[in-house]
């Protein structure tokens, strides 16, 4: 004989985990994995370390991500490229919502956003170093990096080309975007290693100067 009270016999079974809970758990694991990388580099990116950091059982990584490699990809996409996605979305929003928004202003906003304290920060140095090293040997991560990098470069190149066209200048927008990204990455790395080398303001100035050498002044547009 059932011991379930009659009032509950016809009730629908409530799922043990809601979709929201699953999303929250994924985010917690991504954040824990990022902290593990920040503390110990790629050597600390293990199931045991991440689960200890997140205070969850070992099986949850495979349950939510399928593999440790898939979690690594999510760390790269969700945590480290969040700033890039934000920049791309903002640039697209300005172009869509303000048809008279000058491309010069969008390009200058791109540059300055790269040096905001929440982006130009030391906290993720070990994370980036670990991931850059892993990209060289991990085909899955390399593919994701290539896709995200090209999305970033093409969006930046679009605005560079728009500024050049407006001013009647001939530039290789894709190459200039590539050089800009490389300069920002290099300046950030040097500043992280030794903050006496330059200030973030000086790094920003150097990056603007690179673009202005090909396009003319952006700050007086």
Distance of CA 120 to the CA centre of its chain: 12
| Confidence (pTM) | 0.79
pLDDT tens for each residue of the chain, 221 residues long: 333 333 333 444 444 444 448 888 888 999 999 999 988 889 999 999 999 998 888 888 888 898 999 999 999 987 666 766 776 777 677 777 766 768 888 888 888 888 888 778 888 788 888 899 999 999 999 999 999 899 889 989 999 999 999 999 999 999 999 999 999 999 999 999 999 999 999 999 999 999 999 999 998 64
Radius of gyration of the chain (CA): 23
* Domains of the chain in sequence order: 18-75 (1.10.10.60), 81-215 (1.10.357.10)
Dig out the tokens for 194 from the structure: 């030794």
| Number of other CB atoms surrounding residue 166 within 10 Å | 13
Query: Around 151, how many Cα atoms within 13 Å sit in the side-chain half-sphere?
Result: 18
Identify the CA nearest to 75 among candidates 134, 12, 21: 134
């Amino acid at each position: 004989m059932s011991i379930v009270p009659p009032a509950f016999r016809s009730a629908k079974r409530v799922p043990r985990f809601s979709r929201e809970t699953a999303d929250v758990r994924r985010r917690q694991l991504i954040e824990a994995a990022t902290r593990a990388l920040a503390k110990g580099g790629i050597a600390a990116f293990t199931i045991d370390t991440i689960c200890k950091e997140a205070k969850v059982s070992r099986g949850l990584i495979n349950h939510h991500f399928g593999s440790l490699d898939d979690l690594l990809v999510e760390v790269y996409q969700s945590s480290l490229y969040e700033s890039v996605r934000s920049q791309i979305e903002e640039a697209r929003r300005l172009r869509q919502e303000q048809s008279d928004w000058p491309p010069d202003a969008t390009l200058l906003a791109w540059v300055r956003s790269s040096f905001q304290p929440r982006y130009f920060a030391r906290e993720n140095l070990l994370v980036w170093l670990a991931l850059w090293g892993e990209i060289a040997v991990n085909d899955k991560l390399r593919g994701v990096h290539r896709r995200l990098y090209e999305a970033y470069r093409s969006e930046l190149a679009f605005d560079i080309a728009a500024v050049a066209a407006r001013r009647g200048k001939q530039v290789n927008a894709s190459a200039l975007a590539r050089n800009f990204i490389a300069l920002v990455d290099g300046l950030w790395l040097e500043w992280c290693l030794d903050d006496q080398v330059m200030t973030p303001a000086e790094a920003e100035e150097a990056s603007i100067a690179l673009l202005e050498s090909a396009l003319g002044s952006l700050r007086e547009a």
